[in-house]
Each structure stands twice: as structure tokens, then as C-alpha cells.
Amino acid sequence: MKVVAIVTVAHHASDGELALTPVHGEALLTHTVRGLLGVPEISSVLVAAPQRCASSFSEALRGLGCRVVPGSLRQAFAAVEPDLPRDSVVLLHDALRAFIPAETVRDVINAVSDTTPVVVPVLPMADTVKVIDEESLIIGTQDRTRLRTLQTPVGYALAAFRPDLAPTGAATVPGHPDAMRVTTGFELSLAEAIAAAPKNEETL
């Protein structure tokens, strides 16, 4: 089985620039890709780079041994698909989730199979969710027992792959708080602390 990871900034137009935000002296994207490359089960890492960010992405990833593909996620997948055996696993990972533990990535990879062709890490919903009416008045409380927040990487059996960071019908594995999207000043502070902490083999 071959495992390929594709890193993307497909959520919002500003994500390309956010991926270049310095964290502990290096771009957030650099931490993301280095972590994935450090998971032995992953054969290769590709980065789908918006055209406007392709040069900056290449510079941030210089020497890491990954491939930067200018263009869309579909173009990145097309660049690697012909070389993938039929039993391959494709991981689709958000560039802004730089510090997911390696064990969570392995859980996703190991859970992908013919019977569970799409797998995603999730966390239970911690906040109380309220329902409001058209006048913004609270009218009820949403039962959060079965609510989950989705993380990445999303794992796909090759035949089931689609460029979708929010898949429906996917199997789930436990996510991890460190796999947050780094988009705010508070999250950046947390990312700095994670990056500065002593490393072990299970943390990306």
C-alpha cells in the first residue's frame, strides 16, 4: 500500500497567505509538511499551491523533499494519480493544521479500507450550542451528544478520492486538540507554544 498526502489551502482565499505566517521562526506550512514527511507510512507529500503563492510556498519548503504543484487540488491529485497502485491511500490535509500528532495520522491511514473508504478525525463538540429565531432570540439548545468538529487529514481509498474537506458518510477516528486550524492571534500563540515544546516521535 502506498500513502500520499496532499496539503491544501482550499478553505478560504486568505489561507495561502496564512500558511506563510511565521511560527517559531518558520512558516506554518513548513511545520505542516515537515510533520507529514516524518510519518514513515507516508510515501510522498504534495502541496497544492495557489498560483499567487507558488513561489513563496516553494521557498518555504525548500529542501524538505516534497513537491509543490501550482494550481488547484485537482491538479495536484492529477500529478500523482497515474503512479498510485490501486490499494493506495490519499490523505487530504489542511495546511493550517500544522501540529496534528503522528498517531492520529496513523489512525486515519489504518482505518481506511474497502469497507471504510473515507475516514476523518473528529473531536466531540465542547461548547453549548443554542438555536435562535429570526430575531436572534434563543429558543432552544441543540443536543451536542452526536455533534463533532471535523479535522484533517481526511483519508481516502484511491477509488473513493474526491477533493472534499467536509465529507459526508465518512468513518471517524478520534482527533486531537493540537490539530487546530491556526487562523487567529490566540491560535497563533498556541501554535508558538506547541512548536517550542520538546518534541517526541508522536507529535508532528
Q: pLDDT of 131-150, one tens digit each?
A: 999 999 999 888 888 889 99
Is the model's pLDDT at 15 over the cut of 90? no
Average pLDDT estimate for 120-130: 89
Which amino acid is located at 140 in the chain?
Answer: G
Of the chain, the percentage scoring pLDDT greater than 70 comes to 96
Is the model's pLDDT at 201 over the cut of 80? no
Is the model's pLDDT at 203 over the cut of 50? no
pLDDT in tens, 20-64: 999 999 999 999 999 999 999 999 999 999 999 999 999 999 999
- Strand 118-124 and strand 44-49: the pairing is unpaired
Q: Which residues neighbour 60 within 8 Å (Cβ) at sequence distance 6 or greater?
A: 20, 26, 27, 29, 30
Into which CATH architecture does domain 3-120+149-196 fall?
Alpha-Beta Complex (3.90)
Length of the chain: 204
Which amino acid is located at 135 in the chain?
Answer: E
pLDDT of 134 reads 92
pLDDT in tens, 104-114: 999 999 999 99
53: Cα within 13 Å, side-chain hemisphere: 26
Domain edges within the chain: 3-120+149-196
pLDDT of 1 reads 87
Is the model's pLDDT at 166 over the cut of 90? no
- Strand 89-94 and strand 3-8: the pairing is parallel
Mean residue pLDDT across the chain:
91
pLDDT band at 6 (very low <50, low <70, confident <90, very high): very high
